[in-house]
A and B are shown apart, each in its own frame.
Chain A
Amino acid sequence: MLEITNLTKSYAKSDKKAVDDLTLRLNRGEIFGFLGPNGAGKTTTIKMIMGILTPDGGRITINGIDAGQESMRAKKMLGYVSDSHIIYDKLSGREYVDFLADIYGVDAVTRRIRCDALLERFHLKEAFNDRINTYSHGMKQKISVIGALIHEPELWVLDEPMTGLDPQSSFELKELMRAHCAAGKTVFFSTHVLEVAEKLCDRVGIIVNGRLVLVGTMAEIKAASNDKSLEEVFMSVAGGNRDWLNANG
């Protein structure tokens, strides 16, 4: 589904590589959790997948389509929930979702069906006609999710999606991710909440200083770490414990 090969990125004003030779393959129908400490390169990687940043080197393909060569075709398969707030917050929730539906070419009947289901799920029906700048952080996150799913993307990318969500909305979001995968599609999300990653993800990857230091299913990680929890594994690799990595492959 998503194939990243030797992806590298340095920012113009920095000597350090934000993402360093990252190679990763995501399969259809899986939830992939992208973990790492602050400044590790998670958001930079996501922004390159989404076409916001241009990689210095490497290749990204989505469903076999080269995101660098055929960006428009590739973007049509993506849905994105960013970690920052919606910039056009003077629009109402309905106008925002309509805008995205128009851009992705979703017809009126389909958007109505999808929108109703998502609004029901997130309990956002009453606020749908209100302006986004009157929403709470959690409500903004929810409308952003609805906007990202209105065209039912093949690959749904979320950057720190759980931030600011109440337990119920967080649960609904996790359910949505599962449902998305059950429909044969793929979810890629970054998070700091290790418990969420542990329970939700089919596979996780840990990025530290721009390098992907660990990728595997939960079972593989547990097996390699003598049944340690994800938190302990994360602390070992993200805390700079290379011995653990060397010892556990």
Chain B
Amino acid sequence: MGQFITVFKLLVKNMFKRGGARRSRVIWIAYAVIGVCAGTMVFGLCMAVYALAPVFANLDLLPELFTLVMGAACVTVILFGLAPMMSYLYFSKDTEFFLPLPVRSSTVYLAKFLFIYLTEVAVVAAFLLPVGITLGATLGLNALYYAVMLFSVIFVPAVPMLLVALLAIPLMYVVSFFKNRGALTSVVLVLLFGSVFGLYYFMLARINLSTGGEEADPIELIEGMRRALVGVCNLLPPLYAIARFALMSDVFVTLPLSVPAAMGANVALFIACVLLLLSLTVCISAAMYRKSAARMLEGSRKRSALKDYAVKSGTALSALFKKEWKELFRTPAYAFQSLSGTVLSPIWVLFISFSLQTTVGTAESVLGSANFRWFLLVGFICMVAVSMNMGAATTYSREGKMFYYAKMLPVDYITQVNAKLRLYVLISTATIVIDLIILAVLMFDWLNLLCAALFLLLYNYGFNCFCLLLDLSRPKLTWTTPNEAIKNNGNSMLTTFLNMGISVILVGLPLLAVALVPVLWLGLLLSWGFLIAAGAAAAVVFHTLLFKKAPELYRRILGSVSTR
């Protein structure tokens, strides 16, 4: 037990000691931004529950509402649980550290499992407590409800953890195949978002199927909704059971039981499910932990035989480009921060364009028109495809103490800038092109497509020039881990938020023009004209500034950089 606590304490200390006393202002701002975003989301959910709770209560659907709230908490566990499950258990880097110590592997495993579980409890608490309290306060629910809610916070993570443990297995093999943690993170994210969207569409489909569409009469509609909600809740028996217990529902599934008996049956079902799921999760993840530890220790010596060795020559520019690309791709933190947009943005564009076609207005209204959707999606692409590539905004920071290397190379600074610029423009361009292909397939319109392409490519070039210029003006060259170079870097945050703001303004104004100008072709002409002009201006101005100022900025940094 003592060793278990010691290992657990080690994991906790290592987790929470990120910055210590030297935490910079930027990190605090980042935490504040994340806190505000998460807070806003939870606040929005609380408001939704506050508005919907009386309606659900009138329809006698309170257990279903509470089940859905807990179900959403389970989704957050899946979203936040996969990465720790993989990094702490399936891709554990500390196997070699623990194995020589006189601690049993099972003790280390259990400490890690408890650690992961408690982080998920914290995630569920952050989500479920405010939303649950809002539900309780809105309807004046009794003490039993609050007690069960606290009980649920502790035990609800056990329900989706099995899914997390199972989902992580194929992911582990996929990632082992690529042997790149950058790929790992991208795959995890794609899967996470895919699952969330899949669940969302599944629920929508179920509700649509049960309500019988817009033609149905209100009573039919309500009955259909009830059927759909009960159907969804039946898929989550432990959550449904504890929700029914909390709200003292008198019926347990279809059995004719008295209230106390039904409550007993509900709580027994929940506890039995939790115990069963936890046992299965522990068995599966422990087996995978042992297997992956063995794989990592045994499988690291594979060498590919040198079959052919071709010597190729190239220019200094291409050599610098290749070096930049390989360093980016082979450093997981860098690869993720620069390339995840290329993987995720097309998925988001796909889902959002589907959503817009089905949920925003009718074809006759302005909001439902194809042009409106084009501008909205171009704004979205502008926001994510360009923002998510943080490569340009951190390229000089990432050089760190090796920046002096730039001075040693017999290559002029302009060529060095050029190599970097080409790479990051190329990454965002690839993302933009993939996104536009999706738009072209889903809602082809040659005029919108051509104008969107022109605007996005010009803007992308200008924005990347700006990012390079910014990072060259104020690089963060002192860091200890690659993550710090890119995550705790004011430049990446500044450019991300700036691009988001610019995207909203650039696309918000034309949206207004299309909506307000009575003549459609004039509205379109003005809108695209404005966007393309803005993109071209950004490209010209920042290209000129970058190449004019770069040599001087290089010299300034090299004058202050330490070569130790």
Contacts and interface: CB of A to CB of B under 8 A. Distances in A.
User: Interface centre among A82, A86, A99, by most B CB within 10 Å?
Assistant: A99
A88 B301 contact: no
A11 interface: yes
B518 interface: no
Given A90-B18, A99-B6, A13 B301 contact: yes
A104 interface: yes
A176 interface: no
B359 interface: no
Interface in B293-325: 295, 297-303
A90 B302 contact: no
B552 to A, nearest CB: 33
Interface in A7-21: 11-14, 18
B96 A91 contact: no
A187 interface: no
Nearest to A86: B97
A51 interface: yes
A103 B299 contact: no
B99 A87 contact: no
Contact of B301 (A18, A75, A104): A18
A18 to B, nearest CB: 7
A87 B103 contact: no
B217 interface: no
B102 interface: yes
B100 A78 contact: yes
Contact of B480 (A11, A47, A78, A134): A134
Contacts of A169: none
A209 to B, nearest CB: 14
Interface size class of A (residues with CB under 8 A): 20 to 34
B99 A72 contact: no
Contacts of A170: none
A178 interface: no
Interface in B98-151: 99-104
Interface residues of B, number: 32
A165 B96 CA distance: 22
A52 interface: yes
Contact of A131 (B6, B20, B300): B20
B102 A76 contact: yes
Nearest to B18: A90
B215 to A, nearest CB: 61
Nearest to A50: B100
A80 interface: yes
B94 interface: yes
B534 to A, nearest CB: 44
A23 interface: no
Nearest to B104: A72
A167 B85 CA distance: 43
A75 B97 contact: no
A87 B302 contact: no
B481 A11 contact: no
B17 A131 contact: yes
A134 B484 CA distance: 13
A53 B95 CA distance: 11
A102 interface: yes
Contact of A102 (B2, B93, B96, B480): B2
Given A11-B298, A13-B301, A133-B481, A88 B104 contact: no
Contacts of B103: 103
B107 to A, nearest CB: 10
B14 A88 contact: yes
Contact of A88 (B10, B20, B99, B480): B10
Contact of A11 (B14, B17, B301): B301
A14 B104 contact: no
Contacts of B25: none
B101 A75 contact: yes
Interface in B269-306: 295, 297-303
A90 B102 contact: no
A52 B298 CA distance: 10
B3 interface: yes
Contacts of A92: 17
B301 A87 contact: no
Contacts of A168: none
B195 to A, nearest CB: 31
A77 to B, nearest CB: 9
Contacts of B6: 99, 102-103
A3 interface: no
Contacts of A103: 3, 6-7, 101-103
A13 B302 contact: yes
A198 interface: no
A182 B94 CA distance: 33
A12 B299 contact: yes
A205 to B, nearest CB: 21
A50 B481 CA distance: 29
Contacts of A18: 301
A133 to B, nearest CB: 5
Interface string B1-45: 011001101100110011010000000000000000000000000
B99 A50 contact: yes
A14 B300 CA distance: 10
Contacts of A90: 13-14, 17-18
A91 B13 CA distance: 7
A202 interface: no
A84 interface: yes
Interface of B: 2-3, 6-7, 9-10, 13-14, 17-18, 20, 93-97, 99-104, 295, 297-303, 480-481
18 contacts: A11-B300, A11-B301, A12-B298, A12-B299, A13-B302, A14-B302, A47-B96, A52-B95, A52-B96, A53-B297, A73-B102, A75-B102, A82-B97, A87-B93, A88-B97, A91-B13, A103-B6, A133-B481
